[in-house]
Amino acid sequence: METSHRTDDPLSRTLREHVLEPLSTAEELVGAERAEVEAERQAYVRFADRVGGIDTVSRQPAGVNRTRQLTDSPPRRVERLRSAFRETVMSVDHYDEVYGESLVEHAAAELSADVATGFRREGGTQFTEFYRSTLVSAVEEAVGWRERLVDQLDEELASLDRSRDAVEDLLDRWEGPGPAEGVESDLDDLAERRQNLVQRRDPLSGTDGHELCQYVYADAEWTYPVLTAVARVRTAAL
């Protein structure tokens, strides 16, 4: 008499948990990362609005002493800029845990070293119209990068959900001690679909389509959760 691999059997539950663990962990990691990236995107949008409300200073005529030029620039502009950055970009809940940088350091890392000079209280770039335009462009780039990343994280979550459904279906068809007929080919198909998705993914910063997995799953013991789940099914079938 043919018997099925019952899901209420302790061994079955242990096997399922072992196989599905990479997918469950991946969903948690991607969900958490998406929340952080979206919070940052919104923060930069708010920062851009604040920047638009800061009046600019006119450039001094050629030949004016640089020291005098900086002295003549009202310090309130710098303070307004710093306050805007601190109260938006640096106010996200995960800032201290993920970044923990000083204001100028973070501006340099996220926007550029040149743009960050405008955040310095002393010896920095004047808040001219040109500087504000350069700053806004850098902020728009930061927003755009996060928008693209959120899209990829959404795609990753959808892929993980589809993969979980596929793996659970394979486990439901398990007959033990080996897998049911057709499971092996279905595992191959699942692995191939996943690899195709990863390989055709647009790179985030000019590297390759594997970058997202390396970025999001850096703290996990694996880089490819779906392929890890597939490998665990194969190992259990041996």
- DSSP codes joined into one string, the chain: ------TTSHHHHHHHHHHHHHHHHHHHHHHHHHHHHHHHHHHHHHHHHHHHTSPP-PPPPTT--HHHHHHHS-HHHHHHHHHHHHHTGGGSTTHHHHT---HHHHHHHHT-HHHHGGG-SSS-----HHHHHHHHHHHHHHHHHHHHHHHHHHHHHHHHHHHHHHHHHHHHT--SSSPPTTHHHHHHHHHHHHHHHHHHSPPSSSS-TTHHHHHHTTTSS-S-HHHHHHHHHHHHH-
Query: Residue 108's pLDDT band (boundaries 50, 70, 90)?
Result: very high
Q: What mean pLDDT is predicted for residues 208-229?
A: 92
More confident: 129 or 206: 129
Query: Residue 147's pLDDT band (boundaries 50, 70, 90)?
Result: very high
Q: What is the pLDDT of residue 192?
A: 95
Q: What is the pLDDT of residue 230?
A: 95
Question: Which residues make Cβ contacts (< 8 Å) with residue 205, sequence separation at least 6?
Answer: 211
Q: Which amino acid is at 57?
A: V
Q: Which amino acid is at 224?
A: Y
- For residue 129, pLDDT over 70 is answered with yes
Mean pLDDT of the residues in the chain: 87
Query: Residue 175's pLDDT band (boundaries 50, 70, 90)?
Result: low
Highest mean pLDDT of the ranges 11-20, 33-42, 194-203: 33-42
Q: What mean pLDDT is predicted for residues 102-114?
A: 97
| 8 A C-beta contact, residue 209 and residue 203 | yes
Q: What is the pLDDT of residue 69?
A: 46
* 138 backbone dihedrals φ, ψ, rounded to 5°: -65, -40
Query: Residue 122's pLDDT band (boundaries 50, 70, 90)?
Result: confident
Q: How far apart are CA 49 and CA 196, in angstroms?
A: 40
| 8 A C-beta contact, residue 26 and residue 225 | yes
Please report, rounded to a whole number, the percentage of residues in the chain having pLDDT higher than 90: 67
CA distances from 211 to 18, 100, 174, 203, 221 (A): 26, 24, 34, 7, 16
- For residue 28, pLDDT over 50 is answered with yes
Give which of 145, 136, 33, 182 is closest to 94, Cα–Cα: 33
Q: What is the pLDDT of residue 182?
A: 78
Q: How far apart are CA 43 and CA 30, in angstroms?
A: 20
Q: What is the pLDDT of residue 67?
A: 46
* C-alpha count within 13 angstroms, C-beta hemisphere, residue 188: 4
Mean pLDDT is lowest, of 49-58, 69-78, 181-190, for: 69-78
Q: What is the pLDDT of residue 188?
A: 93
Q: What mean pLDDT is predicted for residues 30-37?
A: 97
Please report, rounded to a whole number, the percentage of residues in the chain having pLDDT higher than 70: 82
Q: What is the pTM of this model?
A: 0.84
Q: Which pLDDT tens digit goes with each residue over 60-96?
A: 555 555 444 444 445 789 999 999 999 999 999 999 9
Give which of 30, 51, 56, 63 is closest to 151, Cα–Cα: 30
